[in-house]
Amino acid sequence: MLSVRPPHTTFSRPLIWPRQCRVSVAAALRCVSAVATASAPETAAPPGSVSFPILVNGCTGNMGLSVAEAAALRGLHLVPVSFSSREKVDRTIQVGQTNIQIYGPSAREDVLSSVIDEFPDVIVVDYTAPDSVNSNADLYCKLGLPFVMGTTGGNKQLLYKSVQESKNYALISPQMGKQVVAFVAAMKIMAEQFPGAFSGYHLEVLESHQAGKRDTSGTAKDVIACFEKLGVSYDMDRMVKIRDPEQQLEMVGVPEEHIDGHAFHLYHLTSPDDSVSFEFQHNVCGRSIYTEGTIDAAIFLHRKVQSKDSKRIYDMDDVLREGYMH
Ligand SMILES: NC(=O)C1=CN([C@@H]2O[C@H](COP(=O)(O)OP(=O)(O)OC[C@H]3O[C@@H](n4cnc5c(N)ncnc54)[C@H](OP(=O)(O)O)[C@@H]3O)[C@@H](O)[C@H]2O)C=CC1
Ligand SMILES: O=C(O)C1=N[C@H](C(=O)O)C[C@H](O)C1
């Protein structure tokens, strides 16, 4: 059986993961848009808040649907369009009062062009799949569609290059949970201020996510990059990735009701002589922390686009720094 216990530890107590969490498209669009405007929004936008069109790509999936629901609840104008990786989709998804039409990949460019005509200040949010990150981003950049990229994976360098070259606006973050973002930001600060502070230390990393997660945790990769700057050498192949529900229940301690949606991370450091150890954990149950952060990210990006800010590429650190922490 896979041992969750990092080998280089002097602790005698078993590793216990907390059981509780702690930490003609255009015509159709015009028609739906008119209905959406005429009928009262589900929940009025909070006083002083903005409302703008938001298109969530990946509404057939868990994050896409959650973000679409949260957008409607926050009083944003949900564009009734989303996409699938499958060509033969004949499907609509009801989110509040909006009927979202799902299109296949070949319709993407035409449909998105019509969306821009109809909703020039639209913000796209992408929660699709790692292998779609670059092609989706390339298309948003080609069309000048500002986007929030929540989807992890893909080629990060190419992603940034596309945005830079197109001068499009984008907010890219593998982690939208604001408290987790703050933790990673603290790790980055430590790495910048005390490079080499953990030289010679041994690092073990374990991450557990719902079985459907295809890639390695993007958040873990970012945290490991900080440890590397702190002097730790780490081979990514050693990361323990748990996707098996039985192990998650019995070994990791994920509450049963969150087996289908959780993100538990553990980083364990041990000094060369085994006399000192450190543990960092961030354990998330459900998805509300990400949906909340994603809506803030979309609002933030919309403001930047409207004010024609000269900076074009953002991450969640920028969002937190501008006071969205609460
Ligand atoms: N940044 C953050 O804070 C977070 C990031 N994530 C990341 O978001 C992504 C999605 O996660 P999650 O919702 O849990 O995954 P799901 O598997 O539940 O959903 C992904 C959906 O994307 C759709 N999809 C795949 N390819 C395309 C495409 N080319 N165009 C449009 N839709 C597509 C799939 O539907 P279909 O079969 O119809 O194509 C699927 O329903 C992952 O990369 C995950 O790591 C998740 C949580 C938080
Ligand atoms: O797929 C997920 O669920 C998550 N993905 C992100 C990642 O890969 O870091 C963020 C969080 O771990 C949830």
The DSSP line for 112-132 is HHHHHHH-TT-EEEE---GGG
Nearest atom (ligand 2) to Cα of 153: 8
Tokens encoding 8: 């280089």
Asked if residue 105 has pLDDT above 90, the reply is yes
Separation CA 296–CA 319 (nearest Å): 8
Classify residue 262 by its DSSP letter.
Answer: E
Distance 286 CA to ligand 1 centre (A): 15
Tell me what pLDDT residue 50 has. Answer: 82
Q: H or E segment at 278?
A: strand 277-285
Instruction: Determine how many CB atoms are found less than 10 A away from the CB of residue 164.
Output: 13
Between 115 and 43, where is the model more confident?
115
User: Which of 126, 152, 175, 184 to mutate to test ligand 1, by most ligand atoms within 8 A of the CB atom?
Assistant: 152
Model pLDDT for residues 223-276, shown as the tens digit of each residue: 999 999 999 999 999 999 999 999 999 999 999 999 999 999 999 999 999 999
Nearest atom (ligand 2) to Cα of 220: 9
Q: Which residue has the tokens 């909703």?
A: 119
Our CA angle for 110, 52, 35, nearest 5°, is 70
Tell me what pLDDT residue 273 has. Answer: 97
For 180, phi and psi rounded to 5 degrees? -70, -40
Tell me the catalytic residues.
209, 213
Burial of 69 (0-12, 13-18, 19+ CB in 10 A): middle
Classify residue 238 by its DSSP letter.
Answer: G
- Contact (Cβ atoms closer than 8 angstroms) between residue 278 and residue 269: yes
- 273 Cβ contact list (under 8 Å, min separation 6): none
Distance 273 CA to ligand 1 centre (A): 43
Tokens encoding 184: 């990673």
Distance 290 CA to ligand 2 centre (A): 9
Instruction: Answer whether 61 contacts ligand 1 (Cβ < 6 A).
Output: yes
Tell me what pLDDT residue 88 has. Answer: 84
Instruction: Answer whether 174 contacts ligand 2 (Cβ < 6 A).
Output: yes
Instruction: Answer whether 219 contacts ligand 2 (Cβ < 6 A).
Output: yes
Mean confidence (pLDDT) of the chain: 89
Q: How far is CA 254 from the centre of its chain?
A: 20
Separation CA 281–CA 265 (nearest Å): 6
Instruction: Answer whether 82 contacts ligand 1 (Cβ < 6 A).
Output: no
C-alpha dihedral over 83, 215, 4, 264, to 10 degrees?
A: -40
Instruction: Answer whether 179 contacts ligand 1 (Cβ < 6 A).
Output: no
Of all protein residues, the one whose alpha carbon is nearest to atom 9 of ligand 1 is: 151
Separation CA 14–CA 5 (nearest Å): 7
Instruction: Give the number of whichever ligand sits closest to the CA of residue 67.
Output: 1
Burial of 43 (0-12, 13-18, 19+ CB in 10 A): exposed
Separation CA 274–CA 271 (nearest Å): 5
Nearest atom (ligand 2) to Cα of 265: 12
Asked if residue 4 has pLDDT above 80, the reply is no
Tell me what pLDDT residue 17 has. Answer: 46
Instruction: Answer whether 209 contacts ligand 2 (Cβ < 6 A).
Output: yes
Asked if residue 22 has pLDDT above 70, the reply is no
Query: Rounded to the nearest 10 degrees, what angle do helices 133-143 and 156-166 cross at?
Result: 0
Number of residues that this document lists for the chain: 326
Instruction: Answer whether 58 contacts ligand 2 (Cβ < 6 A).
Output: no
**Residue type for 201, please?**
Y
Nearest atom (ligand 1) to Cα of 175: 3
Asked if residue 33 has pLDDT above 80, the reply is no
Burial of 31 (0-12, 13-18, 19+ CB in 10 A): exposed
Separation CA 220–CA 180 (nearest Å): 11
User: Which of 133, 175, 178, 239 to mutate to test ligand 2, by most ligand atoms within 8 A of the CB atom?
Assistant: 175
Between 29 and 31, where is the model more confident?
29
Instruction: Answer whether 140 contacts ligand 1 (Cβ < 6 A).
Output: no
Separation CA 208–CA 264 (nearest Å): 5
**Residue type for 79, please?**
V
Asked if residue 296 has pLDDT above 70, the reply is yes
Nearest atom (ligand 2) to Cα of 152: 8
User: Which of 219, 239, 258 to mutate to test ligand 2, by most ligand atoms within 8 A of the CB atom?
Assistant: 219
Tell me what ipTM this predicted complex has.
0.99
Nearest to 247 by CA among 262, 267, 232: 262
Instruction: Answer whether 83 contacts ligand 1 (Cβ < 6 A).
Output: yes
